[in-house]
Amino acid sequence: PLANWNGDEMPLDQVRVSVLDRAFLFGDAVYEAIRVYSGRAWLLGEHLQRLRHSLKEVQIVADVDRLHERLARTLANSDVQEGVIYIQVTRGEAPRRHAFPKEPVTPNELIYIKEVEPSPTAAGEPRPGMRVVTFPDWRWKRCDIKSTNLLANCIAAEHAEVNGCDEAILVHHDGSVSEGSRSSLFAVRAGALLTAPADESILPGITRQLVFRLADRIGLRVIEEAVRHETLTQLDELFLTGTTTEVAGIIDVDGRPIGDGTTGPVTAALQDAHHRAVQEWLAT
Ligand code: PMP
C-alpha cells in the first residue's frame, strides 16, 4: 500500500517510527478509516469532523486541513479504486512518562491507502449474514474517542474469531449491548430501528449516522435506546454497520438464530438504500 508519512509518500512497509513514539508506549494516538468507492473518499467530511473531535478530546494538536490535502494527493497517486484510507495521528516521540511532554513535540501523521475487495452489493449480490458472539465490554468510558487503544476490542474480536464468528457484540455490566468490536449495532423491533444512544459509551459511527438518514428516506423510525442482552434473540432483526461492514445482517447470536436465520427484510431494504446512496453520490 502507498503511505503518506508526515507529508512524504512512500510504500507503507518503508515507514519507520521510534519506539519512543507515544502510540507505541501508551496507545497515545487517534485514527480514522474511510471507505474509497471508485477512487473517491466516501463521507470524508464526516470522518474528518470525527477526527477533529478525537484530537481535541485527547489534546493532540494537528492540522486536519493539511491531512485532508495529503490524503487527497496520496489517494490520487495510489490509483486505488476500491479501498480504505487509514489515518493515524500520534502525540509524537518523547521520553517515557505518563503525563504529556511539556517540551514541544511533533505529532507523527500516517495515512495509507489499502485496496479492498469491492463490496458484494456493488455486484448486485447479497452480503452474507454474520454470526456474532456476545462478549463483555471491557473498554474505557470514552469510547466516543476513536483512539488506537484497542486492546479490549482486539480481545473481543479474537474471541469471535476462535469461535468461528464474524464479530463480537459488547455487553455492558448493566446488561445493555453497546456495539460491535469494530461496528455499530442496530435492532429491528416492531418495524422501528433501535440503536444505543451516541453518548460517551459508543463510537458515533459515521455509517450509523448514515443509516439514520437512510431510515428517514424509507420511512423507518429510529429509537435511540440500547438493546438489552436478555432480549437480544427476541428481536425481529439485528444488523451491524460500519465503514467496511456497510450494512450487514446478523443471522445468529451465540449459536441462536435471529428471526428465521437469514438477513431480514428491513436490513435488506437498508442495504439496498446504502448501495443506492453510494451510486447517487458517485454520479455527482
Ligand atoms: N464502533 C466501533 C467500536 C468501531 O471501531 C467502528 C469502526 N470504526 C464502528 C463502530 C463503525 O463506525 P463507522 O461507521 O464510522 O466505520
Here the cell at position 118 is 469491492
The burial of 109, by beta-carbon neighbours within 10 Å (0-12 exposed, 13-18 middle, 19 or more buried), is given as buried
Name every residue whose Cβ is closer than 8 Å to that of residue 106 and which is 6 or more positions away in sequence.
92, 93
Contact 225, 183 (CB under 8 A): no
Catalytic residue among 56, 102, 114, 146, which?
146
Domains of the chain are 2-118 (3.30.470.10), 123-282 (3.20.10.10)
Here the cell at position 8 is 512524504
3-state secondary structure of 137: coil
Could you give the CA distance from residue 39 to residue 50 in angstroms, rounded to a whole number? 22
Identify which of 183, 210, 214 to mutate to test ligand 1's pocket (most ligand atoms within 8 A of the CB): 183
Nearest CA to ligand 1 atom 4: 182
- pLDDT score, position 181: 98
> How far from 132 is each of 135, 137, 209, 216, 217, CA to CA, in Å?
10, 14, 22, 27, 28
pLDDT tens digits, one per residue of 197-221: 999 999 999 999 999 999 999 999 9
Could you give the CA distance from residue 211 to residue 218 in angstroms, rounded to a whole number? 10
* Torsion-angle region of 20 (φ positive above 0: left; ψ -120 to 50: alpha; else: beta): alpha
- pLDDT score, position 55: 98
Contact 187, 208 (CB under 8 A): no
Of 200, 196, 274, nearest in space to 242 by CA: 274
Here the cell at position 215 is 431510515
**Chain centroid offset of residue 44 CA:** 13
> In angstroms, what is the span from residue 242 Cα to ligand 1's centroid?
5
CA 158, 207, 124: angle at the middle one, nearest 5?
Answer: 90
> How far from 32 is each of 15, 27, 146, 147, 181, CA to CA, in Å?
18, 15, 7, 9, 15
> In angstroms, what is the span from residue 17 Cα to ligand 1's centroid?
26
Within 6 A (CB) of ligand 1 lie 33, 179, 182-184, 203, 205-208, 241-243
Active site residue 102: no
- pLDDT score, position 122: 78
Which parts of the chain sit beneath pLDDT 70? none
> In angstroms, what is the span from residue 170 Cα to ligand 1's centroid?
13
Name every residue whose Cβ is closer than 8 Å to that of residue 189 and which is 6 or more positions away in sequence.
235, 236
Nearest CA to ligand 1 atom 12: 205
- pLDDT score, position 124: 77
Contact 237, 267 (CB under 8 A): yes
pLDDT tens digits, one per residue of 117-137: 998 887 778 899 999 999 999
> In angstroms, what is the span from residue 198 Cα to ligand 1's centroid?
12
ipTM exceeding 0.90, yes/no = yes
- pLDDT score, position 123: 79
pTM: 0.97
